Amino acid sequence: MSTVASTATCELCNTPGGHVVWRGEGWRAIRAADASFPAFYRLICDRHVAEFTDLSPEERARCMERVAAVEQALRQALRPTRINIATLGNVVPHLHWHVIARFDWDSHFPQPVWGTAQRVVEPPAVQRLACTLEQLDAAVAAALEAA
């Protein structure tokens, strides 16, 4: 059975969970503060549910079109090597989707961001992106607004 933490102690019920770039219809998008992966966004369900199948089919469809909108915005703005998408929730059992632009030069590629670092990246990753984080946030927000 899913372990559902009480909303009283849930980090994603009680904090935004990162730098909020968009809010709408029961979801929010945040940019994570991760120097190794600056183009790391999370789509967070405002409601405290643990698993994807705790959503209705209609909610799942809307959710994934938002995930796709974030992916498309990152692809267009950054031309990354790959987009990684995941929902894990092992540490924070409150539904959130990770959407991460990956580059063949990044610290962990081709390992997942949760794997083992492969190299030191200098100058830092954020300086290698094709646009600023402010521009990227705006592109992600616009894509979500249109989704």
Sheet holding 96-102, edge to edge: 19-24, 27-31, 40-45, 96-102
Please report whether residue 128 would count as binding a second copy according to CB under 8 A.
Answer: no
Stretch (H or E) spanning 98 = strand 96-102
Measured from the CB atom, the residue of 20 and 52 that comes closer to a second copy is: 52
* Residue 112 token pair: 């997942």
Residue in the structure block whose two tokens are 């899913």: 2
Which of residues 38, 89, 141, 144 is near a second copy by CB under 8 A?
A: 89
Quick check: helix, strand or coil at residue 79?
coil
* Residues ≥6 apart with Cβ < 8 Å to 50: 2, 3, 4, 89, 93, 94, 95
Which of residues 115, 124, 130, 131 is near a second copy by CB under 8 A?
A: 115
Please report whether residue 4 would count as binding a second copy according to CB under 8 A.
Answer: no
Which of residues 67, 101, 121, 140 is near a second copy by CB under 8 A?
A: 67
Please report whether residue 86 would count as binding a second copy according to CB under 8 A.
Answer: yes
Which of residues 7, 25, 35, 65 is near a second copy by CB under 8 A?
A: 65
The reply to whether omega before 124 is within 30° of 0 (cis) is: no
- Least Å distance, CB 79 to a second copy, is 5
Measured from the CB atom, the residue of 1 and 134 that comes closer to a second copy is: 1
Whether residue 121 contacts residue 108, with contact meaning beta carbons closer than 8 Å, is answered with no
Footprint of a second copy (CB under 8 A):
1-3, 50-53, 57, 60-61, 64-65, 67-68, 71-72, 75, 79-91, 93, 102, 104, 109-112, 114-115
